[in-house]
Structures are given as structure tokens and as C-alpha cells.
């Protein structure tokens, strides 16, 4: 894969990732993770900068990731409903020596409540490790590093 193909593939991957979450296609979102080895975590920028690895929220297996969204998909989990819209920008990617892809992107999430009032929900950065499995890019690791200190107490929907 040359640099242009890699750039396009990673941009497309992040856009599909965000769209699956925006449209609440949680099964399609979980399918973007490597079922054999993956992690998903949300970290504060402050902890990341200080090398403090404790995540705000962490899933360390594919089963944990699926469990995280199972109640959302079933409509069982009760939380303050709002429409979320993610915007991904400044996508960057590079191949590692092991053959995986290290990718980063900026993330801004807006929310609109039931009355139609919109506000900024989250500012963050994606830091991902992807692998090519049977001609598909899959997440081995997704770290969402949040810049926002005012984190909603109910991070029900993944970032």
C-alpha cells in the first residue's frame, strides 16, 4: 500500500467509524475491531501527558467492547438521550515496523437535545492501531484522548 492509498484508507476508516456511531449502528461499530485482540479506552489528555495510564473507561477484550454497546443496541440502558454528531479531521497515518498502522485524528462531537438545541459535547483525539486482516482494516487499539475536562457523567455512547 503506497502513501496515498494508506491516507485514503485511514480517512475512510475514521469516517465509517464516526458514521456508525452517529447512526447508532453499534454492531457495525464493533465489527471494526479485531475480535482476537483489541482494546478501546477513553483517557484524559492530562493523564496521558503525565504518563498515567488509568483510563476513564476501558474495554480490554472484544467481548468487553460488545458488552459496552449491547444494552444501547437493545434500548435497555437509560441515559439522557441526545443526538450526537462527530466530525473527524486532521487524519494522519504511518506504517509501523510490525506492519500495523498507527493513526491519529482530531474529533469534535456536537450534541443536540430533544428540543433541538445544539452544543459542543466533546473535543478529543483518536489514537489508533490498525491491522490488515483479510483485506479489511481492523482496530487493534483505539484510545480516545479527551481534551474536555467537563465530561458528561454518562459516557453511555462510545466516542
Residue pLDDT, tens place only, 4-62: 999 999 999 999 999 999 999 999 999 999 999 999 999 999 989 999 988 988 999 99
Residue 32 lies in a domain: yes
Helix (H, G, I), strand (E, B) or coil at 94: strand
Residue 139 lies in a domain: yes
Residue pLDDT, tens place only, 28-38: 999 999 999 99
Residue 158 lies in a domain: no
Total of domains in the chain: 1
Distance, C-alpha 55 to centroid of its chain: 14
Report residue 74's pLDDT band, with 50, 70 and 90 as the boundaries. low
The per-residue pLDDT for 157 is: 79
Report residue 96's pLDDT band, with 50, 70 and 90 as the boundaries. very high
Q: What are the CB-based long-range contacts (under 8 Å, 24+) for 117-121?
A: 121/82, 121/84, 121/152
Amino acid at each position: 500500500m503506497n502513501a496515498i492509498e494508506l491516507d485514503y484508507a485511514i480517512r475512510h476508516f475514521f469516517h465509517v467509524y464516526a458514521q456508525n456511531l452517529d447512526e447508532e449502528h453499534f454492531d457495525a461499530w464493533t465489527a471494526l475491531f479485531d475480535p482476537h485482540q483489541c482494546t478501546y479506552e477513553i483517557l484524559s489528555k492530562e493523564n496521558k501527558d503525565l504518563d498515567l495510564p488509568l483510563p476513564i473507561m476501558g474495554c480490554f477484550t472484544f467481548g468487553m467492547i460488545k458488552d459496552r454497546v449491547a444494552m444501547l443496541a437493545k434500548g435497555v440502558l437509560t441515559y439522557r438521550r441526545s443526538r450526537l454528531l462527530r466530525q473527524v479531521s486532521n487524519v494522519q497515518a504511518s506504517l509501523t515496523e510490525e506492519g500495523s498502522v498507527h493513526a491519529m485524528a482530531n474529533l469534535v462531537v456536537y450534541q443536540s437535545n430533544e428540543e433541538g438545541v445544539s452544543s459542543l459535547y466533546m473535543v478529543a483525539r483518536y489514537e489508533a492501531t490498525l491491522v490488515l486482516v483479510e483485506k479489511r482494516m481492523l482496530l487493534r487499539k483505539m484510545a480516545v484522548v479527551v481534551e474536555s475536562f467537563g465530561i458528561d457523567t454518562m459516557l453511555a455512547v462510545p466516542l
